[in-house]
Amino acid sequence: MNMPDPNAMATAWMSQFTNPWQSWLKLPEQSANPLSGMLKEAGVAIKPDALEALKADYMNKAHALWQDFIASRKPALPDRRFSSPEWQSNPLTAYHAASYLLNAEFLTALAEAVDAEPRQHQKIRFAVQQMVDAMSPANFLATNPEAQQKLIDTKGESLAKGMANMLADMQKGRISQSDESAFEVGRNVATTPGQVVFENDLFQLVQYDPVTPKVHERPLLIVPPCINKFYILDLQPENSVVRYAVEQGNTVLLMSWRNPDKSLGKTTWDDYVEHGAIKAIEVTRAISGKDKINTLGFCVGGTIVATALAVLAARGDQAASSVTLLTTLLDFSDNGVLDVFVDHAQVALREQQLGKGGLMPGRDLATTFSALRPNDLVWNYVQSNYLKGNEPPPFDLLYWNADSTNLPGPMFCWYLRNMYLENNLREAGKLSVAGHPVHLADIDAPAFLFGSKEDHIVPWTAAFESMSLLNPKKPKANKFVLGASGHIAGVINPASKGKRSYWVNDASGRSRPKTAGEWFDGATENKGSWWGEWAQFLADNGGKDIAAPKKPGNAEYTPIEPAPGRYVRVRAD
């Protein structure tokens, strides 16, 4: 089943400034037309009794809405896209917005009522939501009263600026979400002081300068996702995970993955594990002089470091004193919204295109993630940048979000098939990586597992499944912490801000909750950031305190260049 791409929709939008909003005011049989072809293609249908009930409900609400319009009663617009006074100032404009919301509700209800297996059902819901979001009257000059008023107030200047913004973005091939001129890697993002102490074709290893007189004897190695730049963990001093870890008395080393070019087009998952994470572990141990180190993986970085530790365990080498996994999948039974992009046909197509070599463009990956939240990451900027002629304000997180990375085709295809499609990692010995069968249960190290409550990329219940895969015979070896917010904001929640909250379940006993629901039922909510819990975990597994190193590296691994290094500065576009 082909699914709408919000960025493609936005590109198509660029050729016109009108919206046939009248189509949204048709009867439900006609309103369902965008869905009917999709259902026919997918070979599914809606049960007749459910369809009739939805039609009846729709007609009742449409009749009530029309009566309100005739009586000059303003309809409720419970949607932030229509919250400004301009939407209510004109009865016809308010009615158009209310009609859109009613038709959107009807189409969404139709998608929910489809009789289909779960994965297919999710794809239909997702595709319908993309169309519903794209057709909002807020997205078009002809039906957006805020943009029309600004056009009048500025005597056409807003339209001229909007067109200029649109043409500039067409040149870039993406929608601007931030004032990118306001940031520079190494100047005001990724600024924690340190030195690159090792590099190969896949990554640079950054060792950060200590800020405390004593440090835990076991260092912390951070493996960020290779699908994004590492500096999401080091944005600004006040919200930097890296800086916080250094301030807590840890010697921190971090992998800065290279942004692949054609020379890395045949790089495999085995390479990312063997010449990436395992090599970083080797260098970190050599620099610290310690056989065991604390390790942290974020998102796919967690999948990579867990695989690497399992490979080392198969070689008789227990390298980790502890393992921290932030919003990481080891069990891919529930892939969240990303599941809509993965099926046998799509994976086979990628394998045909890239399986033997080539690059998965970072731009395509960015488009996929934008599709998960189109109103926030696509249409919001269409309205502001193009219809109203605004310049996007500087925002470090969105600057990072636009700084995409490529992935080697063979590595990407292997990851899609063996993780997302077939869920092989959780099966002991089913995968062979770097010449060894992978048994996650063989990693002998306590684990700190973190999930974000509103995460749409790694559902927290899926992150919780790692509890049963790591240390299965040691009930007290693992600690799960649930944070508020989403995939990024849940992780980047500085302790100094005292915002949001997190949940822990420290119930004593020889057993641990078997399901995420059971865990949550016994959990306690705490105000503020989970970072303090993690800092204590690192201290408990960091060994004794020793004098902070006076200089980075050692005789074998000497400083190459200051942090953040060259690799992180290379842009995919």
Q: Which CATH architecture has domain 194-340+420-569?
A: 3-Layer(aba) Sandwich (3.40)
Supply the pLDDT for residue 481: 98
Burial environment of residue 155 by CB neighbours within 10 A (0 to 12, 13 to 18, 19 or more): exposed
Cα–Cα distance list, 380 to 100, 136, 338, 384 (Å): 17, 11, 21, 6
CB contact at 8 A, 325 and 448: yes
| CA separation for the pair 98, 119 (Å, rounded) | 31
Please report where in the chains the tokens 């309100």 appear, as a residue: 68
| CA separation for the pair 239, 44 (Å, rounded) | 47
| CA separation for the pair 150, 81 (Å, rounded) | 16
Supply the pLDDT for residue 21: 35
Annotate 158-169 with b (16+ C-beta within 10 A) or e (fewer): bbebbeebbeeb
The domains of the chain are located at 6-179+371-400, 194-340+420-569
Please report where in the chains the tokens 């996650």 appear, as a residue: 440
| CA separation for the pair 441, 427 (Å, rounded) | 10
Q: Is the pTM of this model over 0.85?
A: yes
- What would the DSSP string read from start to end of 270-321? HHIIIIIIIHHHHHHHHHHT-S-EEEEEETHHHHHHHHHHHHHHHTT---EE
Q: Cite the active site residues.
A: 299
Closest CA to 484 of 516, 456, 514, 451: 451
Cα–Cα distance list, 334 to 1, 122, 194, 422 (Å): 20, 12, 38, 12
- Taking the chain (573 residues) in runs of 10, the rounded mean pLDDT of each run is 51 42 39 59 80 94 94 92 94 94 95 88 90 95 96 96 94 90 96 98 98 98 97 96 98 98 97 98 98 98 98 98 98 89 91 96 86 89 96 94 95 97 97 97 98 95 97 92 95 90 80 89 96 97 97 97 98 83
Q: Provide the 8-state DSSP code for 504.
A: E
Other Cβ atoms less than 10 A from the Cβ of 72: the count is 7
Question: Cα angle at 256 between 220 and 412, to 5 degrees?
Answer: 110
> Which residues contact residue 162 at a Cβ distance below 8 angstroms, ignoring those fewer than 6 apart?
385, 386, 387, 388, 389
The H or E element that residue 114 is part of is strand 114-115
In the numeric block, which tokens belong to residue 412?
Answer: 């990407």
Closest CA to 548 of 210, 193, 206, 243: 210
| CA separation for the pair 338, 127 (Å, rounded) | 13
For 162-178, what is each residue's pLDDT tens digit?
999 999 999 888 899 99
Asked whether the bond before 210 is cis by omega within 30 degrees of 0, the reply is no
> Which residues contact residue 286 at a Cβ distance below 8 angstroms, ignoring those fewer than 6 apart?
554, 556, 557
How far apart are the two ends of the chain, measured CA to CA in Å?
Answer: 30
| CA separation for the pair 572, 91 (Å, rounded) | 47
The H or E element that residue 323 is part of is strand 320-326
Which stretches does DSSP call E strand in 156-270? 194-199, 203-208, 214-216, 220-223, 252-257
Q: Provide the 8-state DSSP code for 189.
A: B
> Which residues contact residue 475 at a Cβ distance below 8 angstroms, ignoring those fewer than 6 apart?
509, 510, 511, 512
Other Cβ atoms less than 10 A from the Cβ of 521: the count is 10
Supply the pLDDT for residue 16: 40
Give 552's Cβ-side CA count (13 Å radius).
Answer: 24
For residue 503, list its beta bridge partners: 482, 525
Supply the pLDDT for residue 340: 85
Q: 527 by DSSP, 3-state: which? A: strand
Supply the pLDDT for residue 372: 83
Please report where in the chains the tokens 């499609």 appear, as a residue: 421
